[in-house]
């Protein structure tokens, strides 16, 4: 085991003291390569104290200067992209070019945060009454926090803290302890870009760290991305402690393929959406709803052909299409879901279990799996698997397909493949899902829109990043002022003020 220690970033310094730690693994080899420190009560107190001390000065820093830090950070992220992406691949397992795409999407959120002077301008109205002016402004709310998942260790934190600090807040980030190194490096680059000490603190940890953020009265708002059971816990506990909370949960995204669809293009898109990043994406497509048996048969044939061409191996080799799953427990969990699908009666067309990668026999590799005749009620239909498992569901009509999607507990993302504009318009207008693609398998909004699902995929009113992030990380204050004319005394009035 390597002696490399991944510490916390508190008040601009790396802290490696503490009594608890756990191993960080390279999923391509199964080897423990680092130890990550886990925060205790004293660690959390140090981070909170640092943020509290930094807030008054940072709050009053002009928005333009805060934005300039983001602009410099964007450049540093681009200059250090290779190093960051290698850390992602070494600890998460995704193929390097997939890590590069993740980082680029994160950089776009940093760029959006650099527009803070425009986004925070507020509104102004003159003479709303006799010599009375009124305006609103967006003020920072204080110490904010983020709890982020393992599957996007660079991108998801960049959904949160750049906009939070650009709005004048301080931020405490609790990344996944499974792959913490790229997150920590990016935070260090933010210091290099000019972010003052204490504005951003990073604490690695488990439930002890999470609960400290949820219950401490100094934390005003919390953002979370992860599974639905944890999202629900974060939301209910945070709200019970008086915090503003947005908690993005799980997904079971369906893709509808219509009989008139371009099957070849649909298959290509679905391969990436189902098996890219080993299926460890909340916007992955684990279910295809084929309208008509002929459509399903064509899809199965095309998917089988493409799966046979796939290369599975370590993410450091960019010629590979898919790397390993993130940990051995997760590998076991996904493998068990495949066995469950067989036991439930679905037809396992392609079985990716048992794959061995030469030179990486201890890695957590699972090949692409493909089921046909998946039925509602099966666990592989209902539950989020978060692995390279794609199921085909057969229905007779578009409405049947939409009824399935609308009845599901999750409503994160969905898409339809069709050449029929009327069908696409009807689908996008009536489907009960937060993010919709038309011939786009992964309809992840760009940085200047906002990301979020419906139903049990999102707890809270505001989505992540984009315009909603400005609203989440600020409070609106409306100010009305009047300067009476000198020497004019007015009598008291007891009726409710109006402009009449």
Helix, coil or strand: residue 129 = strand
Query: Out of 170, 278, 282, 369, which one is annotated catalytic?
Result: 282
Q: Where are the domains of the chain?
A: 5-249+457-479, 254-438
Q: Could you tell me how many helices (H) and strands (E) the chain has, helices first?
A: 16, 23
Task: For residues 409 and 395, give the distance between their C-alpha atoms in angstroms, rounded to a whole number.
Answer: 19
Which CATH number is 5-249+457-479 given? 3.40.605.10
Fold match between domain 5-249+457-479 and domain 254-438: no
Q: Where are the beta strands (DSSP E) in 130-270?
A: 132-140, 143-147, 170-174, 200-202, 219-225, 244-248, 254-257
The answer to whether 368 touches 355, Cβ cutoff 8 Å, is no
Residue 421, CA atoms < 13 Å, CB-side half-sphere: 0
Helix (H, G, I), strand (E, B) or coil at 260: coil
377: three-class secondary structure by DSSP: coil
Note the pLDDT tens digit of each residue in 93-110. 999 999 999 999 999 999
pLDDT of residue 1: 45
282 is a catalytic site residue: yes
Residue whose pair of structure tokens reads 């046979």 in the numeric block: 308
Classified by CATH at the fold level, domain 254-438 comes out as Aldehyde Dehydrogenase; Chain A, domain 2 (3.40.309)
- Pick out the chain residues at pLDDT < 50: 1
Q: Which of 20, 22, 388 is nearest to 178 (CA)?
A: 22
Q: Is the pTM of this model over 0.85?
A: yes
Contact at 8 Å (CB) between 374 and 336?
no
Structure-token match 């590069």, residue found: 100
Backbone angle region of 324, left / alpha / beta, with phi > 0 → left and psi within -120 to 50 → alpha: beta
């Amino acid at each position: 085991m390597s002696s490399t220690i991944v510490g916390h970033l508190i008040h601009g310094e790396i802290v490696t003291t503490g009594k608890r730690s756990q191993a960080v693994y390279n999923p391509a080899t199964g080897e423990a390569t680092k130890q990550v420190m886990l925060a205790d009560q004293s660690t959390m107190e140090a981070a909170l104290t640092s943020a509290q001390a930094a807030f008054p000065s940072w709050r009053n820093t002009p928005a333009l200067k805060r934005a300039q830090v983001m602009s410099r950070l964007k450049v540093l992220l681009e200059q250090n992209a290779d190093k960051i992406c290698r850390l992602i691949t070494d600890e998460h397992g995704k193929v390097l070019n997939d890590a590069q795409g993740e980082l680029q999407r994160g950089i776009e959120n940093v760029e959006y945060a650099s527009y803070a002077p425009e986004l925070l301008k507020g509104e102004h109205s003159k003479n709303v009454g006799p010599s009375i002016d009124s305006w609103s402004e967006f003020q920072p709310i204080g110490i904010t926090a983020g709890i982020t998942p393992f599957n996007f260790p660079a991108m998801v934190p960049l959904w949160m803290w750049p906009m939070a600090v650009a709005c004048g807040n301080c931020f405490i980030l609790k990344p996944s302890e499974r792959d913490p190194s790229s997150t920590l490096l990016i935070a260090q680059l933010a210091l290099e870009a000019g972010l003052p000490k204490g504005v951003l603190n990073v604490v690695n940890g488990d439930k002890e760290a999470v609960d400290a953020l949820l219950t401490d009265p100094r934390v005003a708002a919390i953002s979370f991305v992860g599974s639905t059971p944890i999202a629900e816990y974060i939301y209910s506990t945070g709200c019970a402690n008086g915090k503003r909370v947005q908690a993005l949960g799980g997904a079971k995204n369906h893709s509808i393929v219509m009989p008139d669809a371009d099957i070849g293009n649909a298959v290509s898109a679905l391969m990436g959406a189902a098996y890219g990043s080993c299926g460890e994406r909340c916007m992955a497509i684990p279910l295809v709803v084929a309208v008509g048996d002929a459509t399903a048969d064509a899809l199965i044939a095309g998917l089988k052909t493409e799966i046979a061409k796939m290369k599975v191996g370590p993410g450091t080799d960019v010629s590979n299409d898919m790397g390993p799953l993130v940990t051995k427990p997760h590998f076991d969990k996904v493998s068990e879901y495949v066995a469950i699908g067989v036991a439930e009666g679905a037809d396992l067309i392609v079985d990716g279990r048992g794959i061995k990668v030469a030179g990486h026999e201890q890695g957590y590799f699972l090949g692409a799996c493909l089921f046909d005749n998946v039925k509602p009620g099966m666990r592989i239909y209902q539950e989020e698997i978060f692995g390279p498992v794609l199921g085909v569901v057969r229905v007779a009509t578009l409405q049947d397909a939409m009824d399935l999607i609308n009845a599901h507990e999750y409503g994160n993302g969905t898409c339809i493949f069709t050449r029929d504009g009327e069908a696409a318009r009807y689908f996008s207008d009536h489907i009960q899902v937060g993010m919709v693609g038309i011939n786009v398998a992964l309809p992840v909004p760009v940085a200047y829109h906002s990301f979020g699902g419906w139903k049990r995929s999102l707890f809270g009113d505001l989505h992540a990043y984009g315009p909603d992030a400005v609203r989440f990380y600020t409070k609106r204050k409306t100010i009305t002022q009047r300067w009476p004319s000198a020497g004019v005394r007015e009598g008291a009035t007891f009726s409710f003020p109006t402009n009449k």
